[in-house]
Amino acid sequence: MSARNGSEPNRLERRKARTRAALITAAQSLLAEGKLNVPILEITQAADVGMGSFYNHFQSREELYHFAVEEALDRHGALLDTLCEDIDDPAQVFAQSFRLTGRLHRMSPTLSKVLLNDGLSLATSDKGLAPRARRDIEEAVKAGRFDVRDPELAMTIVAGATLCLGRLLHDQPERDDAEATDEVVENLLRMFGIPPEEAREICQRPLPAFATPEDGTAA
Question: In this structure, what CATH number is given to the domain that contains residue 25?
Answer: 1.10.10
| DSSP label at residue 219 | -
**Of 58, 76, 92, at which residue does a domain stop?**
58
Same domain, yes or no, for 188 and 107? yes
**Of 12, 37, 58, at which residue does a domain stop?**
58
Q: Which of 40-49, 126-135, 158-167 has the lowest mean pLDDT?
A: 126-135
Same domain, yes or no, for 80 and 20? no
Instruction: List 218's β-bridge partners, or say none.
Output: 211
Same domain, yes or no, for 83 and 169? yes
Calculate the alpha carbon distances from 40 to 22, 114, 203 in Å: 13, 18, 44
pLDDT of residue 165 exceeding 60, the answer is yes
Domain that holds residue 52: 1-58
What's the pLDDT score for residue 98?
Answer: 93
Indicate the number of domains in the chain.
Answer: 2
The predicted-structure confidence for 7-27, as pLDDT tens digits, reads as follows: 566 888 888 999 999 999 999
Same domain, yes or no, for 149 and 198? yes
- The Cα 111–Cα 208 span in angstroms is 21
